[in-house]
Amino acid sequence: MNRIDRTLPIFPAGDAARERFRHGQVVYGKIESIQGETEKEKLALVRVGNEVVTARLRTPLQVGKHYLFEVVAENDTIYWKIIDKEGGNHPSPPFDVDEAVQYLMRKWKLPSDAHSFLRFVLQEKIPIAKEDIGKAVQWIRPLEDKQKGWETFRYMVARHFPLTKDIFASLLAVQNDAPLFRQLQHAEKLLASLPPERQTESLQTLHRYLQDITNSPRNAYEVLVKLLESLWQPERKIAQQLLNRLGLPAAQSGISSEQLVKLQDAVKNGNLQQIKQYLQPFFPNLEEQKFLERFQTIYTSYVNGSLADEEQRLFSAILAKSDHHVASSVFHMLKETLPKLGLQHEANIRLAIETKTIAEEKLTSLKSLLLRALENAHEPELKETLRTLLHHVTGQQLLSQVEGPLQHIFMQIPLQIGEQRTDVAIHWQGKRQKNGKIDPDYCRIVFYLHLDKLKETVVDVRVQQRIVHVSVINDTPHLSDIANAFQPMLKERLEEHGYTLSALKIEAPKQKKKPVDFVFAQRYSGVDYRI
């Protein structure tokens, strides 16, 4: 210590800083106060981000000023060496943030697009090392949207994520402009086009799983019930043609009006098990896997417009009828699809190890199947598509994290509403209870989706002491009139669950935002005292 003290203007950092700071980092800190009577015993309180670090002072500094420090580790001791912009004049003059940015840009020879990132970390007083920014420069250089790359890296640094390329790629993938349902469809199409000799077991399993996600069994069974309804309508001949293509001949489809009502109620309630139960007497030999494969074939033909004209019209009308039960079907689709993505993949593995029991259905998910399939995918386009999907799922996991007393949950889920396919992104933020769950009395939920008629729509729900404020962000003309008509029903439904509607507002968007923008914008700041 004495040897270093004689040659360099530095001071040792306190014990609290040992875990956080490492050799080679640069820290931009503010001197909050200096305590002590003698030169050797003076202590400086340095504000770094949301923390105040105590350090023994070895060189004169000014209270209230900002300085740039380099972290130096020697003999198991962490020191902060003051960076002198004027080349060694003492006492060292302070830096303002713009001077600090320009100094490091020159010293580290950084590209101009790194300027805003460097300014952010210095302004937020986040420690950063040259080697860390060097990684970011390499990762961001090939990107078309370099600003998005630096914003992603900024999020990693601010949240103290390990600075690895996989984490960077995952956070970047979850910002992909292509909707998740389209990425899933593209992967399914690439897998379907593989020649038989390249369709390994893991690729075939993934293909079937993607078909299940992009066209869930619920959709297939609901269409089947709608086709049975059509047997009572003028288009019964076309309906029977489609039933035959599904492998369900006419002789087995004699169904009474009473039985049909039961099926319709089961569809309305979104109860798949009940639908299957009511269908069993009429189709006792129904093999679900073959039925779902045939349905997928018909649906693909419909999307491509290659069904016969009358079949195309009837299929379109049947899908449109699904809008009548949007509320219940959306709920059940979310409930079904969420576990399939694999957002709990690592947690399920840990649980299986701890309990020494392996539940195959819990360990099977999109993420687990992507990991297996990537080992057998050799075509460049397929490999890149599967890797991007894997990163997308991991990115959702990374955006769901604990920050101080708050829990963030981010989900992006493919959804089908009638004929329309879209994604629904949900950002859930709330206080954590002792049991680890979000407090339902105090939380915020932001829904982001793209609808056929309303286009980009954001629903911002804020809950305080079970009082609910809802903002719908959309610029569709007269939307407020439509919303007001539904407000009494919304209020009644919330009261059934013990919540009170405070307000329902329709707002025009101030700027275009993507789903992850709401997560990236959140930043928790701790406080020592409450006034």
- Domain residue limits, the chain: 2-95, 98-163, 211-335, 427-521
Residue in 87, 147, 91, 142 with CA at minimum distance from that of residue 117: 147
CATH number for the 427-521 domain, one of 3.40.50.1000, 1.20.1330.10, 3.40.30.10, 3.30.750.140?
Answer: 3.30.750.140
Instruction: Give me 206's structure tokens.
Output: 């993934």
What pLDDT does 167 receive?
A: 94
What pLDDT does 38 receive?
A: 57
3-state secondary structure of 499: coil
From the number of C-beta atoms within 10 Å of its C-beta (0-12, 13-18, 19+), residue 256 rates as exposed
What is the CATH number that goes with domain 2-95?
2.40.50
Measured on CA atoms in the order 95, 97, 102, 103, is the torsion positive or negative?
A: positive
What pLDDT does 503 receive?
A: 93
What is the C-alpha end-to-end distance of the chain, expressed in Å? 42
What pLDDT does 461 receive?
A: 94
- Under DSSP, the state recorded for 86 is T
Residue ranges, the chain, pLDDT below 70: 1-20, 36-41, 57, 85-92, 215-216, 250-254, 270, 321-333, 358-362, 417-419, 522-531
Cβ(488)–Cβ(217) under 8 Å?
no
Measured on CA atoms in the order 74, 77, 83, 88, is the torsion positive or negative?
A: negative
Phi first, then psi: give them for residue 266, nearest 5 degrees: -65, -40
Measured on CA atoms in the order 147, 511, 393, 441, is the torsion positive or negative?
A: positive
> Which ranges in 269-365 belong to alpha helices (H)?
272-279, 288-303, 309-321, 326-341, 345-355, 360-363
Q: What is the pTM of this model?
A: 0.75
What pLDDT does 417 receive?
A: 67
User: Checking DSSP bridges between strand 467-473 and strand 500-507, what pairing results, if any?
Assistant: parallel
Cβ(495)–Cβ(529) under 8 Å?
no
For residue 143, give the amino acid letter.
Answer: L
Residue in 167, 181, 178 with CA at minimum distance from that of residue 397: 167
